Structure 1
Amino acid sequence: MQIIDGTIASPKGFSAAGLHVGLKKEKKDLGVIYSEIPANAAAVYTTNQVKAAPIFVTKEAMKDSKIQAVVVNSGIANACTGKLGMENAQTMQSLAASHLQVAKEDVAVASTGVIGKQLPMEIIEEGISRVDLQTQESYAFHEAILTTDTATKEIVVTEEINGQIITMAGVAKGSGMIHPNMATMLAFITTDAQISEELLQEVLADKTETTFNQITVDGDTSTNDMVLVLANGLAENPMIEKNTEAHEKFISMFQLVSETLAKKIAKDGEGATKLIEAQVVGALNGSEARLVAKKVVGSSLVKTAMFGEDPNWGRIICAVGYAGSHTDPEKIDMWIGNQQLLKNSQPQDFDEVIMKQTLEKEKINITVDLNIGEQCGKAWGCDLTYKYVEVNALYHT
């Protein structure tokens, strides 16, 4: 497998565009992904009971698991906007379908931004009419989906599967309101692999549990979360069958793309200066290991300790204790970086100079061994800074 430079349009048969239409003051705020043919599609959505209008429109479009185009706006979430908001999401879908000359039911819609505002449809209509997949750069799509993000988040990988070179690309946005179970997090993955929609959905659901669902910035689950995957088959590889070498290679590609995007979202948490990775080993099962890891990176006290570069292991073991998993409080081992802080839940001496150097890094690794089983899990988060409060205190204004 190889990581290459590219965009969401790198797989065969895909194109993309992004432009500024006026939903935000200056930055790009409307994007489109297009496949030459309807692609097999899979999706997962927010678990928040309050869902934005585009979620319902996309779910309806996904009934036949075929999508040919995606239209996304940033700046306005089109959430909690009632009947008019639903009509606007449907109109957005229709406008994109007409402009791209595809079936309306093959267009997915996504929005991100401020909750409670109606979309100015004259701006949306005029913007969609200016989408030009021939002349506009595909990388502009990566920029058009951002809100408080400080950087675009993308990855492109290639792999030989059944004698053909398969390309898979992923792009995501997410900075705050990130606590997905399935935030605001939007992720789009394209591939030219030939794989059934059933197997694609199975891979997505499985890998979402260990990647996108294992990140947290602030504990808030958005109204607009979505991960959408399109596979158009234009690499012309033999159909990927379950439990084959081709299937395993595809899963490995998907794992790398999903985990990379998840880490980039966690690292770009609003105001964040550090990426925190928690690995839990020695758990009874994988789900409990992932639960404990996520509790550790999600703890406000752990996050502030990492911001302050304070090796306060008491905050970490506290999060382990309230996670709700099977735990023997007398058997816990713990490390920050390569230095052991606890053995059998007892404090250990460590080199303060090396620890200071460890905590000054942009990525901090926390390892917890529960010593009661054989399973492991990871989660990713970020530190909690003064800037996070400033960003969110002023977000609406």
Structure 2
Amino acid sequence: MPKATETILEIDLNALSNNYKYLTSKLKNNTKFMAVVKAYAYGSDSVAIAKELVNLGADYFAVAYPIEGVILRDAAIQTPILVLHPLPVNFDVIVNRCLEPSIYSFKILDEFIAYAEKTNQNNYPIHLKFNTGLNRLGFTEDEISLISKKLAATKSVKVKSAFSHLGASEDLSEKEFSLKQINTFKRISEKLTAELVYKPLLHCANTSGIINYPEAHFDMVRSGIGLYGFGNDKVENKNFKPIATLKTVISQIHTVKKGESIGYNRGIIVEKTTQSATLPLGHADGIPRSYGKGKGWVVINNKKAPIHGNVCMDMIMVDVTDIECKEGDEVIVFGSTNTAEELSAAINSIPYELLTAISQRIKRVICRK
């Protein structure tokens, strides 16, 4: 790849392919794969990612909100799309764009059935979400009979899948909790299937569930963070390739004399003559203020340059005193070596948060490395 001349987010489709193939290598041949492409495909480019995943063989997509599904439909992506968090105000969009809602409460179930009947739907696909311990969204095990009665009373909808979500599958010290969730979901699945006259798809494994709990693969698995290059584990990370590299350039270099300050609120007062490089990205681009005052860093010419002073809205300043560099040189914020996981750990965060925060004003460059 040519050197960056502005702030860009490179998205490597070959890395995506590597991650998809690794994850699917863990599955039986008949297990379906749902790719989670919510939040602009974890801060990258949902259309480019989804199109590549279609070519790779993904069976389903998952988004958080209907607008994310609309973006994919507008790009002519026809793969089934599960909307994980629909609201009644979204039902028109969902049905008009052939999206499939997660039904997680009786309010949503009743209102969607009423909408489906009013609009003369027949067997419209819905997905039943069950709460097995995450305590976020979902029906409970003791609500299955009432769910079944409501479904038996209408032909407007049909259950395409029943699913749950593992809350701690990456943490093997919580194995007992995860196994309890999996066993609860098995009971729910058996009860639900016994009351329906057909068998829906069953799924509850996320990325770490795919890796750590093969007994939880069921009919389909869902992966988000793994597709984007992270296995939630230092050992597993070696099998993944981060797809996103955030790059920028040095706009200007200042010589700051001892006792002078840098940035807003005199964020740092230097103790010796310092070379400070200003970069064109800041907290409006997804680099939070918490990375300031030396907690975060970038890489310039293979050397770490700590962020000093406070992160500004559109700029950060880094210490290049001991780095040979010049204005216009490329800067790596995170990528395959200086990873988003390492950088996010510096402020006690996780790569999900850093990746999904990257502003849409940053240019996306699709590539194959």
User: Using CA pairs below 8 Å that are at least 6 residues apart, which structure has the higher relative contact order?
Assistant: 2
The answer to whether the superposition gives a TM-score over 0.5 is no
Q: Which has the larger radius of gyration?
A: 2
- TM value normalised by structure 1: 0.28
Larger fraction in strand: 1
